[in-house]
């Protein structure tokens, strides 16, 4: 009973802070689309996408390992071992990525985009984002949901507000001003909230070889995940930029950000609340609790999706008038398609997390490969023939394919779990 009350309390805190963060992001979109033209907003969106690509590709697979193994090592009072192994793994990946980063910078300088100032700001922002992701993964693992939510709250409100203020004060609507404002807020939040991370025992000199191998085996199939996940989630804006124009990118990204935010928020709340307790139930092999958590997770997503779809279908004009600058209103009719896509993405995250929890990261790779390949192929074809409408309409298709594959693979995992349970009971 106490465990259930704790989960509900965590969920309410996560929900409250995520709602406040989402409100800040929506207000931020309104501020930015009122102070920036669609062209500049599109350029900023493409640059922010690069930050997500690099930081996610380098650190996200290892953070999934941290979330997977933290409850186990915490229970055995060996978090210091896991912390040392995670840091060692991150350093190894960073060294391996240096040649690719150098090639990417040289190529950017050769083609003239982004500018050298943009590149410098991007480099620092990527470093700060990696530290943030590392820190928030720990906060999530130990269920420090209030600190995690407050961190998100500061960034979601602070970044667009400070960027808009600088643009107005300097009378310089440019990507460099926006990136500089984002960097200032990110550093401010990092300096404040890093102090709230749980302390660990003094670091040891050597990490057991078995633990290093365990983390490497878990993360190896996930190494392409950052790039593939970025492709399925954000590559459509680069297709639009290539086939159409930066202005179209700005229009599409602004609409997309508003439409996707409610389901992204709901999925984050559900995952941050339920995933840690599901992971503990999985370690304890308590299938009854695991099923309860999964059913609750699915129900939350479906209820939220039904409400969001109805609101965006009937009220997209009103939403655009409230949350987007006047130059961005013309594409509001695309919102329900994006909501449908993110509903399926939120549902697909549930069976995907089952794969994570039971060490089937090879299944996770298969799921994301399907989503990424489908998004690129269908996204390119749809955008080429039908423009922005095609980009939006195809969103539920490739996220739906990802959901289908994830469901099939997670069902296989569950069939094995139940058969093992029956075998133990028979014996």
Q: What is the pLDDT of residue 272?
A: 80
Mean pLDDT along residues 358-369: 88
Residue 205: pLDDT band (50, 70, 90) is low
Instruction: Check pLDDT > 60 for residue 426.
Output: no
The 8-class DSSP code of residue 194 comes to G
Weakest-pLDDT range from 9-23, 109-123, 205-219, 363-377: 9-23
**208, HSE (Cβ side, Cα atoms, 13 Å):** 8
Q: Whose CA is closest to 340, among 392, 268, 294, 379? A: 392
Weakest-pLDDT range from 275-279, 303-307, 401-405: 275-279
* CB contact set of 162 (below 8 Å; sequence gap of 6+): 181, 182, 184, 185
Domain locations in the chain as residue ranges: 13-221, 224-427
Structure tokens at 373: 């390949």
User: Rounded to whole angstroms, how far apart are CA atoms 234 and 251?
Assistant: 14
- pTM of the shown model: 0.76
Instruction: Check pLDDT > 70 for residue 200.
Output: no
Q: What is the pLDDT of residue 1?
A: 45
pLDDT, tens only, 119-132: 899 989 999 998 99
Instruction: Check pLDDT > 70 for residue 365.
Output: yes
101-110, 130-139, 292-301: range with highest mean pLDDT: 292-301
User: Rounded to whole angstroms, how far apart are CA atoms 163 and 139?
Assistant: 27
Average pLDDT, the chain: 86
Instruction: Check pLDDT > 90 for residue 311.
Output: yes
Q: What is the pLDDT of residue 11?
A: 61
Q: What is the pLDDT of residue 228?
A: 82
Structure tokens at 181: 């404002």
Instruction: Check pLDDT > 70 for residue 14.
Output: no
Mean pLDDT along residues 36-41: 89
Which H helix or E strand runs over 115?
A: none
Residue 222: pLDDT band (50, 70, 90) is confident
Mean pLDDT along residues 177-202: 87
The 8-class DSSP code of residue 325 comes to -
Mean pLDDT along residues 198-212: 70
How many residues are given for the chain? 427
Instruction: Check pLDDT > 90 for residue 312.
Output: yes
Residue 78: pLDDT band (50, 70, 90) is confident
Q: What is the pLDDT of residue 24?
A: 84
47 versus 226: the higher-pLDDT residue is 47
Q: Whose CA is closest to 276, among 11, 52, 77, 43? A: 11
Sign for the CA dihedral angle at 398, 399, 402, 407 comes to negative
User: Rounded to whole angstroms, how far apart are CA atoms 158 and 181?
Assistant: 9
Q: What is the pLDDT of residue 284?
A: 82
């Amino acid at each position: 009973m106490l465990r259930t009350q704790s989960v509900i309390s965590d969920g309410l805190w996560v929900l409250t802070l995520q709602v406040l963060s989402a409100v800040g992001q929506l207000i931020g979109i309104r501020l930015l689309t009122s102070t920036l033209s669609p062209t500049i907003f599109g350029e900023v969106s493409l640059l922010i996408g690069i930050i997500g690509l690099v930081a996610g590709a380098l650190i996200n697979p290892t953070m999934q390992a941290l979330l997977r193994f933290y409850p186990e090592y915490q229970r055995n009072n060996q978090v210091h071992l896991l912390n040392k192994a995670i840091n060692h793994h991150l350093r190894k990946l960073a060294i391996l990525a240096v040649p690719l980063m150098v090639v990417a910078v040289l190529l950017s300088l050769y083609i003239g985009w982004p500018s050298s100032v943009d590149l410098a700001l991007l480099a620092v922002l990527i470093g700060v984002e990696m530290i943030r992701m590392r820190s928030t993964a720990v906060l999530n693992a130990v269920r420090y949901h209030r600190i995690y939510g407050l961190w998100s709250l500061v960034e979601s409100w602070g970044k667009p507000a400070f960027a808009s203020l600088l643009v107005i004060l300097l009378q310089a609507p440019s990507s460099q001003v926006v990136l500089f404002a984002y960097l200032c807020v990110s550093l401010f939040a990092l300096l404040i909230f890093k102090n709230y991370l749980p302390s660990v025992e003094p670091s040891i000199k050597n990490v057991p070889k078995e633990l290093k191998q365990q983390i490497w085996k878990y993360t190896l199939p996930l190494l392409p995940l950052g790039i593939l996940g970025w492709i399925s989630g954000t590559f459509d804006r680069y297709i639009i930029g290539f086939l159409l124009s930066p202005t179209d990118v700005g229009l599409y990204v602004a609409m997309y950000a508003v439409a996707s935010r409610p389901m992204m928020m709901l999925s984050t709340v559900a995952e941050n609340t339920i995933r840690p307790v599901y992971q503990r139930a999985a370690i304890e092999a308590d299938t009854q609790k695991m099923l309860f958590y999964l059913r609750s997770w699915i129900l939350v997503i479906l209820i939220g999706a039904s409400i969001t779809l109805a609101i965006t279908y009937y009220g997209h004009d009103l939403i655009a008038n409230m949350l987007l600058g006047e130059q961005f209103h013309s594409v509001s009719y695309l919102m329900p398609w994006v909501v449908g896509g993110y509903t399926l993405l939120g549902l697909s995250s549930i069976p995907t997390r089952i794969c994570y929890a039971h060490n089937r990261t090879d299944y996770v790779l298969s799921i994301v490969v399907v989503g990424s390949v489908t998004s690129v192929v269908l996204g390119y074809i749809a955008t080429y023939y039908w423009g922005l409408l095609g980009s939006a309409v195809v969103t539920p298709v490739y996220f739906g394919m990802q959901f289908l594959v994830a469901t099939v693979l997670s069902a296989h995992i569950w069939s094995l779990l139940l058969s093992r349970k029956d075998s133990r009971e028979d014996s």
